[in-house]
Structure 1
Amino acid sequence: MDPTPATAPAHPPRERPLLSYPLLVAGKDIDGEGWVYTVSGRSLLEDVFTSISLKRSLERDPDSEAAHHPYVVGRCAVAGEAQIDLATEAAASAAPGWASVPLDRRMRLGHRFREELMRQQDTFLEMLVVESHPMKLARWELSGLLQIFSEESLDWCRRQMHTEIRLGERRLVVRRRPDGVVAFNPPQNAPMSSAALAVLVLMAGNAVVVRAPRSIALSTMWLLREIVAPLLDEAGAPPGTLNVVCGNPKQTLDRWVSSPLVDDIFYIGGSEEGLRFERDCVAHGKKPILELAGNDAIVVWSDADLDWAAEAVTEAFYGSGQICMVPNCVLVHPRVADALLSRVKEQIASIRPGHPEDEDVLLSPVRRSERFFALLRQALDKGARLVTGGRRTELDGTPSDTGVFLQPTVVRIDGLADARSYDLVREETFFPLIPVVVPEPAPDAQLLDSFIDFVNANPYGLRNSLWARSDRVIDEFVGRVGNGGLLKVNDSHIGFVPCLPSHGGTGLTGGAFGEANYPMLRTSHLQGVSIAGGISPHRAVFGT
């Protein structure tokens, strides 16, 4: 029997009306072909059976009494092929008009977006917590967006979009023009904060279609409909400049790839699927913009501030490691390996599971943990040593065989030469699991060479970071590491910094066209313009 308020445990009434979002196409609400429902993240910890049953019941019968259950917080309409195509057509119709809006007016959108984020930050955080993001993680996501849309970052982007040079009787313009229609596919693990990058794509002058992930659509719909769409209206954007659909991923992506109206597809997902998708895009004449897996390294040198380095290492456990930009591997100088591991173990003692709204909780539930235990078992069988963790845990932190959380887990691997034969070193794990690789003792110059070679040989390339005091070591590292889209020295690995790219990388992280990702630049193309007066064509050609 499907649970209803009469059969489910008693709960206080819902504090606010059920959020209900139709599709947004050409500035209008459009009906879909059904609904998907969001239940609170807390409910999945209290009574997962009831939560899942409620969703299934409502998707079969939206008028069911289950809609009044306090676990149910919102619903989003689901698009079929007709609605997906309608959204693309609306974007194509709006694109020329929006591209003609002056750049400075479009740039104002970014400033206004930051103001609205600040004004509505409590609701922003609440939407993330509803979708099971721990509050501490939600605050990090908000802080990242505030840096991406800071005055300094927006000013830097503005300068890249348009520069003028006076040279004699010529006015030379180097500018970037919008690509046209950009389709945006946020990931399931961080849909709302990723979808916010669409604002930068809009600022470049593109019209946008966003697919809110079907399994977790509510926060994305809220952000784009309640914040971004009104700001576009305020800016006088044509209807259809922003369109938001919630649909099946394969169906939606297939429609985008085959559509002659789509110019770019911004895809966030796993590397294997993403690289296949890249080839499909190129074959159909689309620009693929990929944000794929990360397998980042932290390097800790012998003179590092070990307390702060240990803090950076524990960033691996944000959201239980289910974030592409957290560190995935530590490479530590053998002279300080024991001291670093001791500090990391001390810090992990304060990292705990709990309800997502609790301020000091950092871990998220991990529903499919078989791969975690397979990676850990392979590492231990090959000779790695378990430093801490390695078990499931209950909501209160009690180790158990049935808990939905995983303990923060650290393993030590001695020897650098064979380190990448371990799957948990070679691949992104997406779990609260980090290997610490300790090379054999050797002269510092030799160790530094091997550290840099190891980082550069990583087939992924999102972020890398170094902890060291020596100017010589820092200069060598910065001068020679070419892998990745971002390099941090003596700084938070996951922290956001104004002006620097927040996303983007090389190799398995960004594909054949991978680099640091400024969405305004990646969804536009460079154009040179020369405006002359009083110059004969022959003089222009021959310089006489």
Structure 2
Amino acid sequence: MSGHTTTVAGVAVDTRHWIGGRRIASARTFTDVSPIDGAALGEMARGTPVEAAAAVAAAKEAFPGWAATPRTERARILRAIADGVDKRAEELSLVETTDNGALLRSHRRGVMPRVAHNFRFFADRLLHLEHEDFETRGHTHHVSWDPAGPCVLITPWNAPLLLATWKVAPALAAGDTVVLKPAEWTPLTASLLADITAEAGLPPGVLNVVQGHGAEIGDALTGHPDVRRISFTGSVRTGRQVAVSAAAHLTPLSLELGGKSPLLVFADADLGLAAELAVEQYDNAGQVCLAATRILVEETVAEEFTRRLTEKAARLRQGDPRDATTDIGPTIHPRQLARIDGFVRRALATGARAAVGGHRHGDRYYAPTLLTDVAQDSEIVQEEVFGPVLTLQTFADEPEAVRLANDTRFGLAATLATGDPERARRVTAQLVAGTVWVNCFYVRDLRAPFGGSRHSGIGREGGTWSFDFYCDLKTTVTAPKGWQDHG
């Protein structure tokens, strides 16, 4: 580390904020630490309400020009950003793996290509954004999407750049300006994104990045009167605080607040496939909001399914995420590791049994865990752990399966394993979830809406739904008569 730059995995990263097209330092810093080995990665500028206000002011100043920029030019710049991501994909992968502990091979193969795709998709969608005109008694109705204004986008640590660009790309495509607040545990690739957007020709102030602790700058961003949209991904508790802050100025907001999703395995399912789907839930050390952590199995096949799952889970290898043979990397932070361990210890103390795992694996890992003999109303079944911890319960029939699946305060996603298409249609129609996967998991298409029900969130983003959120929709009704003849 030297000055305002740190070198991570051989990549130089600026540790300052990005506001109004310039790097801005703060009087104080916070230390970014790698979950792989606890090494300090950099002293990051620690934002205050002053920097937060400056970022919103920069976004407000840049808004009229960016909103007036033709769609074709906005789309061109978004594609240039995507090209920049492709060009630096290896650097982004190395930095993000070091910063958040997810598998390097996953960043290379899936995450960074998807980051670039986020920008290309919304660039293309922008150019085809239209609604067919319609008439009422000869009057023509025309629907348009007007840029809304400065947006505050607050992103989590489990998939830092992917989830940041899932919000940034449609906001920029819509003609809005952005203040991005990355999670303090994983700020590095947001800083690199600022460099990439500048190189792509994004005008100063259109994207701003403010680093720091949410408790110190969150309200200054979400409660600012000049902010016209807020998109937040994180915990239910923080989501409530964001909503209260936004309410002061009636700022529209989109919240994705996690889940406690079920995986329903019926006796007519391919049990090999079902076990594969279950073991996928350990991906990213279980730090996935969509993970189906509650496994519900028809009791007639529970023993066989459990045998298959435990065998697969026992073969998972934990270790350095940069190693190509590693299946599960470290937990993001000692605080999160302690939280996971607390959940499991309390469950075991109240009668749960660990069929697999149930303990820490060293100082930075939690062993893939499967808990059985758990009660439906227990903490481990009802609350989001956000770690590699699954519970297994049985059901007697389809109505009981649906009842158990829906019996939490969440409703983000659900996964269903069955060999009967009619059953799949019946069950999915009754599940409370924003996304349901049938005989598959985590197949995502940006054309589809994404979001949760109940305490899993408010609103939907993706495809045209993103533009509906990031824009003010306007209907213009024109009479068939009344035009003056100007010769």
Q: TM-score, normalised by structure 2?
A: 0.87
Helix, strand or coil at the partner of 1:497: coil
Helix, strand or coil at the partner of 1:88: helix
Equivalent runs, 1:72-471 vs 2, <5 Å: 72=41, 74-131=42-99, 132-138=101-107, 139-142=109-112, 144-145=114-115, 148=118, 151=121, 159=128, 161-165=129-133, 167=135, 171-197=140-166, 198-223=168-193, 225-231=194-200, 233=201, 238-366=203-331, 367-368=334-335, 369-394=337-362, 403-413=363-373, 419-439=375-395, 441=396, 447-471=397-421
Separation in structure 1 between the aligned mates of residue 232 and residue 371 of structure 2, nearest angstrom = 32
CA contact (8 A) 1:109 1:203 kept: no
CA contact (8 A) 1:41 1:356 kept: no
Helix, strand or coil at the partner of 2:262: strand
Helix, strand or coil at the partner of 2:281: helix
**Amino acid of the residue matched to residue 404 of structure 1?**
R
Quote the offset at 1:242 in angstroms.
1.0
Deviations 1:63-122 (A, max 9, x none): xxxxxxxxx4x5543333322211111111111221222334334444444443333221
Separation in structure 1 between the aligned mates of residue 285 and residue 399 of structure 2, nearest angstrom = 32
**Amino acid of the residue matched to residue 290 of structure 2?**
M
Instruction: Tell which deviates more after alignment, 181-190 or 278-287.
Output: 278-287
Q: Which runs of 5+ in 2 are unaligned?
A: 2-6
CA contact (8 A) 2:318 2:327 kept: yes
Percent identity at matched positions? 25
Separation in structure 2 between the aligned mates of residue 14 and residue 226 of structure 1, nearest angstrom = 16
**Amino acid of the residue matched to residue 496 of structure 1?**
R
CA contact (8 A) 1:390 1:408 kept: yes
Q: Does 1:522 align with 2:469?
A: yes
**Amino acid of the residue matched to residue 522 of structure 1?**
F
Matched residue count: 470
Separation in structure 1 between the aligned mates of residue 251 and residue 92 of structure 2, nearest angstrom = 33
Q: Which has the larger radius of gyration?
A: 1
Quote the offset at 1:435 in angstroms.
0.3
Separation in structure 2 between the aligned mates of residue 15 and residue 497 of structure 1, nearest angstrom = 31
CA contact (8 A) 2:219 2:242 kept: no
Cα RMSD over matched residues?
Answer: 2.9
**Amino acid of the residue matched to residue 455 of structure 2?**
L
CA contact (8 A) 1:300 1:467 kept: yes
CA contact (8 A) 2:82 2:117 kept: no
Separation in structure 2 between the aligned mates of residue 532 and residue 207 of structure 1, nearest angstrom = 34
Quote the offset at 1:154 in angstroms.
6.0
CA contact (8 A) 1:297 1:330 kept: yes
Runs of 4+ aligned structure 1 residues displaced above 6 Å come to none
User: What's the counterpart of residue 65 of structure 1?
Assistant: none
**Amino acid of the residue matched to residue 303 of structure 1?**
D
Change (3 A) 1:172 1:14: closer
Separation in structure 2 between the aligned mates of residue 427 and residue 126 of structure 1, nearest angstrom = 33
**Amino acid of the residue matched to residue 465 of structure 1?**
T
Separation in structure 2 between the aligned mates of residue 451 and residue 283 of structure 1, nearest angstrom = 42
Q: TM-score, normalised by structure 1?
A: 0.79
User: What's the counterpart of residue 4 of structure 2?
Assistant: none
Instruction: Tell which deviates more after alignment, 378-387 or 126-135.
Output: 378-387
